[in-house]
Structure 1
Amino acid sequence: MEHTVTSLPAARRPGCPFDPPAELIDARRHGPISRYLFPDGHQGWLVTGYDLVRSVLADSRFSSRKELMRHHPTIDMGGIEVPPAPPGEFLLMDEPQHSRYRKPLVGKFTARRMRLLTERIEQITTDHLDTMEKAGPPADLVTAFAKPIPSIVICELLGVPYEDRGSFQEQVESFLSGEVSDEDLMAAYIGTQNYLAELVAVKRANPTDDVLSDLLDSDLTDEELKGIGLLLLAAGFDTTANMLALGTFALLRNPAQLAALRADPALTDQAVEELLRYLSVAKTFMRTALEDIELGGRTIKAGTTVILSYNTANRDPERFADPHVLDLRRQDGGHLAFGHGIHQCLGQQLARVEMRVAFPALLNRFPTLRLAVPAEEVDLRPETADIFGVKSLPVTWDA
């Protein structure tokens, strides 16, 4: 009998936010693809298997276009017309529009260029660890460490003036958190857009050494540059901030793995990849079939919405041995935490550098770092948030 899932998201077990919701794991046990009944009655599909998720991401017959995403996994959209993605926000576009925006950026985010940022990221990390140490325990690792590092890095990449960063970061956090009212979210979103529009105008008049200024010689309009800035901001801040906080939480709950990382700095790169696989903070994405497509023995009809579950794909027992175990020495790599195909995360090398610097620096500075509250009391972000993580992570150490 064909398995059907009727609701997303589902809550995670208290004190154990690292595993996908039980309903998704159960769906994967029934097979790599299940029917999904959307709140508006649309009969779609939920893909939970690694190979099928990867296949969809590489298949241009599955569209990323925003205007085709007429069905939401948790909200009855009532048949409303969805507008196309704003200029520059290429994550929700297909070819050739997607490449027009992405191609000028590729050279700005190469592994080599991101490695050149390492020294600056090390300094930012050290500054925040110094502040934490000076203030003494306890601390909220989210506000003291996990958020500021990627926030400062992305502000510097975009060329946000130092004096604007406080208010700018506050606005950005409001619309990315998924925890404010619709009215406040919209106000923060519009405020961020307005600020980026002003920033682009400033760069036109006085270019500086940053990504937005580098793009001024292209044929991109100011409106398109604003959209690119917004996309880079959302992708470059929230995901890494939640990886740093949730990753630290996972390490503290796996003391043998934490000890191994402390003892062997050469393990850092491998540890980052395993944490990316294990946590998969960017949980789900959607695609729309442009034509009838055979997938996993099913026919996906044209116009059907498909939900791709990254966190279950990265826990697929047919791809990863003991997938629910955090193993920093794992050899079976190839996770989908950054996606796959033409939409694979542009800033993945930046995220890797930030994590490779931040995790060892934190653990070495505070050898006795531990949770300041029981694990069950750590406040999780709602499953409705696009990016999963913790709202706060109270930690302490022996001063």
Structure 2
Amino acid sequence: MPYEDRGFFQEHIDKFLGGEVGDEELIASYTAVQHYLAELVAAKRADPTDDVLSDLTDGDLTDEELRGMALILLSAGFDTTANMLALGTFALLRNPEQLAALRADPALAEQAVEELLRYLSVAKQFFRVALEDVELGGHTIPAGTTVILSLNTANRDPERFPDPHTLDLRRQDGGHLAFGHGIHQCLGQQLARVEMRVAFPALLTRFPTLRLAVPAEEVALRPETADIYGVKSLPVTWDV
């Protein structure tokens, strides 16, 4: 996507993933993005450039399939990581001992990112369909049943993670479900990890006195109905 179009795209993605607009406005934003992607796909077919979408046009995918792929790659690739970076910064600022540990040891970034993913889980729930009868917790889920999976609940399971509501960047318990599981695991998870491993230490190194500019309870959060959870804004300050 051309960089100069980022404002348009960010505005509309925020509307249909942020959980704060009515159905009419949500549909209008979704339609606007679909029209934009239709023009983008046509442009890439006519004049391919060095990017993923252009590469995908060189095959047997239909325009509808290309629009769908572009939408999920752009929206999921942008909104999830953007909110993890902001919400993760908020979590670190609210846990000064953990923040100090990461600032003192940038090599902790890989482990810290995994713990932030477990602790925050901005993509909260997904729908799956049982392909066969499944026994779970003493209950039978019949084949064909749609199931809502709560990933953030699983990532705070006390039977899996000791003291699960505590942020511990040195936690050794792996296996969180922030990126899903099985064949439906997020295809962009390694890119997201790289972005966060770079961004968090860089932010804390560049702004060593970074802190909240307002009390934590005044930070505006996305509503629980948002598809991707996060902060609406994060007021911060630092010493010059």
The TM-score range, normalised by the shorter chain, is over 0.9
Report the RMSD for the aligned CA atoms in angstroms: 1.4
Q: Aligned residues: percent identity?
A: 83
1:192 is paired with a residue whose SS is: helix
What is the match of residue 217 of structure 1? 58
**How much does 1:234 deviate?**
1.9
Please, which of 73, 82, 101 is the counterpart of residue 232 of structure 1? 73
Task: Name the residue aligned to 2:233.
Answer: 392
| Cα-to-partner distance string for 1:93-142 (whole Å, 9 max, x where unaligned) | xxxxxxxxxxxxxxxxxxxxxxxxxxxxxxxxxxxxxxxxxxxxxxxxxx
User: Partner residue of 1:286?
Assistant: 127
What's the counterpart of residue 107 of structure 2?
266
Q: In structure 2, how many angstroms separate the alpha carbons of the residues matched to 1:316 and 1:395?
A: 32
Distance 2:87 2:222 in 1: 10
Aligned length: 240
Displacement of 1:365 in angstroms is 1.1
Code of the aligned partner of 1:164: D
Matched, 1:185 2:26: yes
Counterpart in 2 of 1:299?
A: 140
Aligned counterpart in structure 2 of residue 364 of structure 1, from 199, 205, 212: 205
Gaps of 5+ in 2: none
| Larger Rg over CA atoms | 1
In 2, distance between residues paired with 1:223 and 1:200?
9
What does residue 88 of structure 2 align with? 247
Letter in 1 for 2:202: A
Report deviation, 1:293.
Answer: 2.3
SS in 2 for 1:346: coil
Aligned twin of 2:162: 321
Report the Cα offset of residue 330 of structure 1.
Answer: 1.1
Give, in whole Å, the separation in 2 of the partners of 1:287 and 1:162.
34
Deviation at 1:387, TM superposition (A): 1.1
In 2: Cα distance, 1:213 partner to 1:173 partner: 25
Residue of structure 2 equivalent to 1:169: 10
Paired residue secondary structure (1:321): coil
- Mapped partners of 1:226, 1:303: distance in 2: 28
Q: Would the alpha carbon gap of residues 328 and 342 (structure 1) be closer, same or farther in structure 2, given more than 3 Å must change? A: same
Q: Distance in 2 between matches of 1:380 and 1:163?
A: 27
Q: Deviations over 1:271-310 (max 9, x none)?
A: 0011000111111112233443212221123443322111
* TM-score under structure 2 length normalisation: 0.95
AA of the residue aligned to 1:241: A
Give distance in 2, aligned partners of 1:161 and 1:287: 34
TM-score by length of 1: 0.58
- How far 1:346 moved relative to its partner? 0.5
* Residue pairs, 1:76-225, within 5 angstroms: 160-225=1-66
Describe the superposition over 1:194-226 as per-residue Cα deviations: whole angstroms up to 9, x where unpaired.
Answer: 111100110011111111011122211111111
The residue matched to 1:286 in structure 2 has which SS?
A: strand
- How many angstroms apart in 1 are the aligned matches of 2:19 and 2:71? 16
